[in-house]
Amino acid sequence: MRNLVLLSFMLICGVVDAQIRDSIPSFVEDYYLVKDGDSLMIQLKEVAVLPKHKFTGQKDVHYYFWFKRKVFKAYPYAVLASKRIDSLHLRLSRIKSKRKKRAYVKRVQKYLEKELTDPLKKLTRTEGRVLLKLIHRQTGKTAYNNIKDLRSGWKAFWYNTTANLFKLSLKIKYDPAVVNEDYLIEDILQRAYIDEALPFQEPKLKMNYLEIVADKKGTVDVEEYKRMFAKQKKRRKKKKK
């Protein structure tokens, strides 16, 4: 069972070690570009249509696209976590020998250390938090419950204690119908799926995600990020004095 949580541990360690400070959104950077073109008659696939975004000001647009980059960066790791856990379950069910299981564990561990550790350590704290939420969305379990179920409650307690030192929680859940940040994540994902900007993977945490996003009618609330950066600016001014 040990190798079932290797990926979770690597993801968690990378998130916990994330010490990169979130950078303030640029208000001069172009986040999107629209070009005029010739008319073209094509046959379109049936797609969902979501409400147009409602921003209270231009700054809100920049904060939204700043957060969108965070989601785009974290999402592939959550998709990978779900795929790896599924494949590990399948692979383990076919291995009878304990010796071969141990050898397989070592191969998986080396792969994860080589491919994931360095990229994950480059995540900011916000990206780490988003990743933990997306792991819950894609795998159906929080990082804490994955460790608790597959290792022990004691291991889960100590990993979560370490995460708390970096203002993260392995118990964090994904609830876009209630939590504003989770709704923003889901809004970004659903629109990315429609635009084919991100690959779709069926989440194991079952909810009517499209309906949740549609019910918000395009409302965008980024006040928590404004407050976060306002605090950063105050700390910087104090250090300069």
**Rounded CA gap, 191 and 194, in Å?**
5
Asked if residue 34 belongs to a domain, the reply is: no
Asked if residue 115 belongs to a domain, the reply is: yes
Span 235-241, mean pLDDT? 77
Beta-bridge mates of residue 124? 20
Asked if residue 35 belongs to a domain, the reply is: no
Q: Considering its fold, how many domains does the chain have in total?
A: 1
Per-residue pLDDT of 79-128, as tens digits, reads 988 887 777 767 867 888 878 876 776 676 666 666 666 677 788 889 98
Q: Smallest Cα–Cα separation from 162: which of 192, 128, 190?
A: 128
Asked if residue 30 belongs to a domain, the reply is: no
In this prediction the pTM is 0.77
Asked if residue 206 belongs to a domain, the reply is: yes
For 72-92, give one letter per residue: b (16+ CB within 10 A) or e: bbbbebbbbbbebbeebeeee
The DSSP symbol for 5 reads G
